[in-house]
Amino acid sequence: MKSTTTIFGFHPVMEALRSGKELEKVFLKKGLRNEFIPGLINEMREKRIPFQFVPVEKINRMCRKNHQGILALVAEIEYNDIEKIIPGLFEAGKLPLIMILDRITDVRNMGAIARTAEGAGIHALVIPAGESARINADAVKTSSGALHSLPVCRTDNLSKTIIFLKESGLQIVSATEKAGKYLYSADFTRPSAVIMGAEDTGIEKTLLKLSDIHVKIPLYGAVNSLNVSVAASIIMYEAVRQRLFSQVE
């Protein structure tokens, strides 16, 4: 926590919200009650800022000053809106390629994926607001600064975001070791969004059902899985390869 900027106290946090400051997450003391709390919660929901009610001891560990039961972590990056990015890509004549990270909780995996994504020309990363690694200083460092230039979009409902992407003309590709097809069977020359799942449990079932195709990476060794950042890199550069060859042809 030492490298993370915090804002504490009810009025400073409210002022940060209303001034448009990017907040990573807000912690509220369990049982905190006053007339301003409902308005605060509504505002956080509107701005898709994750918040959590926690024991006061957790807030005390993060801040030894008079925090009044509320503390906010300032975001390291500025978040974007995927619903604004997609129309802009089509208007610019670009072929969207989006990475959706379903509950990737390791900050170094997040940073490594972002680094590769920026290099591969991915147009945006989409992450869930509440169940994802925080984009903190470690994530930014691991990304070699890519998280400052690659659009990152938070959503409070991945299913709704995927439906929006499908309705916008993108095919949804889920990377799962349970797939019956290899990734080379996916046509990445189409507008596409690729879902990578949580390090331990994979892609959530609802998201798998919304997908147009499930693909896997061939593995021939004794280890039957890859680190998620490595798997994401392989898939992203298969998409790059297909798009490069389609341009040559």
pLDDT in tens, 51-93: 989 999 999 998 888 888 999 999 889 999 999 999 999 999 9
66 and 188 inside one domain: no
| pLDDT category of residue 249 using cuts at 50, 70 and 90 | low
Q: Which of 24, 44, 74 is where one domain is finished?
A: 74
206 is in which domain, residue-wise?
82-248
Q: How many CA atoms lie within 13 A of 34 on its CB side?
A: 10
Specify whether 48 is located in the same domain as 86: no
**Number of structural domains the chain divides into:** 2
**Across all residues in the chain, what is the average pLDDT?**
91
Return the structure tokens found at 52: 């959590």
Q: Is 76 helix (H, G, I), strand (E, B) or coil?
A: coil
Identify the helix (H) or strand (E) that includes residue 25. Answer: strand 23-29
- Tokens 């919200």, residue located: 17
- Whether 177 is in a domain gets the answer yes
**Co-location of 67 and 119 in the same domain:** no
Q: What's the CATH code of the domain at 18?
A: 3.30.1330.30
**Residues across the chain:** 249
206 and 106 share one domain:
yes
Is residue 213 included in any domain, yes or no?
Answer: yes
- 160-215 pLDDT, tens digit each: 999 999 999 999 999 999 999 999 999 999 999 999 998 888 999 999 999 999 99
Segment 134-138 mean pLDDT: 85
Last residue of a domain, one of 74, 99, 121: 74
pTM of the model: 0.86
For residues 48 and 10, membership in a common domain is answered with yes
According to DSSP, the residues that pair with 53 across neighbouring strands are 28
Which of 46, 74, 102 delimits the end of a domain?
A: 74
Percentage above 90 pLDDT, the chain: 65
Residue (of 176, 180, 160) closest to 168 by Cα position: 160
Within 8 A by CB and 6+ apart from 29, the residues are: 53, 54, 55, 56, 59, 69, 70
**Is residue 145 left, alpha or beta, with left meaning phi > 0 and alpha meaning psi from -120 to 50?**
left
Main-chain dihedrals φ then ψ at residue 47, nearest 5 degrees? -95, 5
Q: Which two tokens stand for residue 117?
A: 């994504």
End-to-end CA distance of the chain: 52
